[in-house]
Amino acid sequence: MRFFLFRCRCFVWIVSALALPALARASQDCRAEELERVLRNPRAVEVRQSLEECARGDPRDPNVMVVLGRGYLLEGDEQRAALWFERATALDPKCSECQLWLGRAYGAEAMQATLIHQTTLAKKVRKAFERAVELDANNLPARTALVEYYSRAPGFLGGGRDKALREAEEIRRRDALRGHGAFGRIAEHEKLYDAAAREYESARREFPDSPEPLLWRARLAEHQKDYETAFEQLEILAAMPSQVEALYEIGRLSASSGKRLNRGEEALKKYLDRPTAGPDEPSFASAHHRLGTLYEKKKDRALARREYTAALELDPMLTEARQALAKLR
């Protein structure tokens, strides 16, 4: 299951990274498949060391560059990630995936930029996503990214409702499930929440074995502060085979809402009771951070401190955990 993270500030947004197929071509200095393995490591320090070693080798393979960029995005180093994606697109101008990741990196960079720089980066985001679709009309993640961009951005930055609807229709022609998701997102942006719910519920009826409609509906309910419905959807999701990320989502929702704290604690502990998290799953560091927040809601400062510390041991760059721990001292 793939989870998407949508954030927005001054019309600039980032969609959390989606899985890239395993890359097979090798480089003289480092191999893409080895980097893919490293990115599955929950210890951020070891990921960082491997990235730096490979970057020093100055790889010439655009596939390796894409994996390096992904790693730096996970590290929160958006500018360095964008540089690697730019190099990848320069070496392989017809690579649709490279353009998609470049757009995501620009979006992540814009989240930290000044207002003026955000405007420049927003245009780069749009151009990269549009180029990705030009290169591969069936790149549905790129089309989905454009739906988000067109729905959020004002006209002077190339946004617009009609553009978003056209992209959603193109998605629906190729994939009915994703089409429901795209039209639902447009409805959400327009605050037509009943219409969005109908899209997600239709997707659930048409694709009862797919996890995405449950997650979409849960996110919508959470946005509306309808926590009972959100938990209900996530519990159905957690009961489906191989949907371990739903446990994280239950814990995250519990920690953020202050509801069902015992269930949230149980879910996060179960999520952490595995050897490792996958490359496209929430990190163990993030799970420990959520658990710490949950313990704060339960007024257990000692356990909260323990979980924030565990999060920082796995990922010293996790600012939210560092700030939360500092407040407890």
Q: Is residue 128 part of a domain?
A: yes
Two structure tokens written together for 193: 């929440």
Mean pLDDT across 296-310: 97
Q: What pLDDT is attached to residue 298?
A: 97
- How far does Cα 151 stand from its chain's mean position? 18
* pLDDT band for position 7 (cuts 50, 70, 90): very low
Does 76 reside within a domain? yes
Q: Is residue 66 part of a domain?
A: yes
In a domain, 180, yes or no: no
The Cα 70–Cα 84 span in angstroms is: 9
Kindly state whether residue 29 falls inside one of the protein's structural domains.
Answer: yes
Does residue 314 form part of some domain? Answer: yes
What's the CA gap between 23 and 39, in Å, rounded?
13
Average the pLDDT over each of 15-29, 67-81, 176-190, 312-326 and give the range with the smallest value.
15-29
Side-chain half-sphere exposure of 78, counting CA atoms within 13 A: 15
Q: Looking at the structure, tell me whether residues 136 and 2 fall in a common domain.
A: yes
Q: pLDDT tens, 26-81?
A: 334 476 666 666 666 656 566 667 767 777 777 788 888 888 888 888 778 899 99
* 77 and 35 assigned to the same domain: yes
- Asked whether the predicted pLDDT for residue 210 surpasses 90, the reply is yes
Same domain, 272 and 157: no
6 and 124 part of one domain? yes
pLDDT of residue 60: 80
Q: Is the pLDDT of residue 13 over 50?
A: no
Cα gap 329→325, rounded to integer Å = 7
Q: What is the pTM of this model?
A: 0.82
pLDDT tier, 22 (very low <50, low <70, confident <90, very high otherwise) = very low
Write a three-state SS string for 191-239: CCHHHHHHHHHHHHHHCCCCCHHHHHHHHHHHHCCCHHHHHHHHHHHHC
Q: Residues 127-186: pLDDT tens digits?
A: 999 999 999 999 999 999 999 999 999 999 999 999 999 999 999 999 999 999 999 999
Q: Same domain for 158 and 30? A: yes
Task: Give 18 or 136, the one with higher predicted confidence.
Answer: 136
Confidence class for position 20, pLDDT limits 50, 70, 90: very low
Instruction: Return d(Cα 259, Cα 228) in angstroms, integer.
Output: 9
Residue 306 and residue 196: Cα distance in Å, rounded? Answer: 40
pLDDT at 8 over 50: no
Q: Residue 210 belongs to what domain range?
A: 185-242
Q: Which of 224, 242, 260 is the last residue of a domain?
A: 242
Q: Based on the domain organization, do 113 and 133 belong to the same domain?
A: yes
Q: Is the pLDDT of residue 188 over 80?
A: yes
Domain end residue (candidates: 193, 225, 242): 242
Cα–Cα distances (Å) from 229 to 12, 176, 261, in that order, read 29, 24, 16
- Could you give the angle at the alpha carbon of 256 between the alpha carbons of 253 and 260, nearest 5°? 55
Output the pLDDT for position 61: 81
In the predicted model, is pLDDT for residue 250 greater than 70?
yes
* Averaged pLDDT, 253-280: 93
pLDDT tens for each residue of 104-117: 999 999 988 888 89
Domain containing 269 — which CATH number? 1.25.40.10
Domain count, the chain: 3
Q: Does residue 235 share a domain with residue 111?
A: no
| Same domain flag for 41 and 56 | yes
Check whether residue 112 and residue 2 sit in a common domain. Answer: yes
Gap between the Cα atoms of 185 and 179, Å rounded: 10
From start to end of the chain, where are the E strands?
6-9, 12-15
Mean pLDDT of 7-19: 33
**29/83 same-domain check:** yes
Q: Is residue 179 part of a domain?
A: no
| Locus of tokens 């490591």 | 41
